[in-house]
Amino acid sequence: MTSPVLQTVGLACERDLRLLFENLELRLARGDMVQISGPNGSGKTSLLRLLAGLMQPTDGQVLLNGQPLAEQRSELARNLLWIGHAAGIKDLLTPEENLAWLCALHQPVGRDAIWQALAAVGLRGFEDVPCHSLSAGQQRRVALARLYLDSPPLWILDEPFTALDKQGVAQLEEHLVNHCEQGGLVVLTTHHTLSRMPVGYRDINLGDWAA
């Protein structure tokens, strides 16, 4: 059995004095694409934030490569790419400036690589346009351009298909599958029905772990 990159042990999450899920046991390995589903309010985004180290569990723990996540902040930063439901970009900066700033936090990249990533998501010619001038779909593409840089193996994505057109959705699906087939790991939430999935795809319904 492939060793898990991420693992949860007896994980529980409480929000606003309500226990969303408990005793959650997951093993997530390279090559997997794991879709977190469930009814509204079941804790999908909260689980992603727990896996990304952005929240602390009510009970249990998250393991990264077999060790407690809380003890491996620098290792997590090298291994994780997190894109939340919001685009997470600064309106006054250009796409190039946003990507340079985001990458500088962990893995600085050059201008050529940034321009290639923006071209890959259909933003050639928009590199120097302030992001407040872009449409919602274009802003989402700026955020997703991070997936086309020299990115870490673990991608945690909250509703990554939001505001994308049909072509953008198909391209992103293909890219996620390729990442998994090359040994990456994708954990995501989405209301979009996936048409492309890798061999290691599975759906985890948080309703099955409701408290």
Tell me which of 3.90.1150.10, 3.40.50.11900, 3.30.70.80, 3.40.50.300 is the CATH number of domain 6-209.
Answer: 3.40.50.300
Mean per-residue pLDDT for 106-131?
Answer: 93
Each residue's pLDDT tens digit, 26-71: 999 999 999 999 999 999 999 999 999 999 999 999 999 999 998 9
Task: Kindly tell me if the per-residue pLDDT of 2 is higher than 80.
Answer: no
Residue ranges covered by each domain of the chain: 6-209
Contact between residue 201 and residue 33 where contact means Cβ atoms under 8 Å apart: yes
Q: Is residue 187 within a helix (H) or strand (E), and if so which, with residue range?
A: strand 185-189
The pTM for the full model equals 0.94
Residues 6+ apart with CB under 8 A from 1: none
Both tokens of residue 111? 């201008």
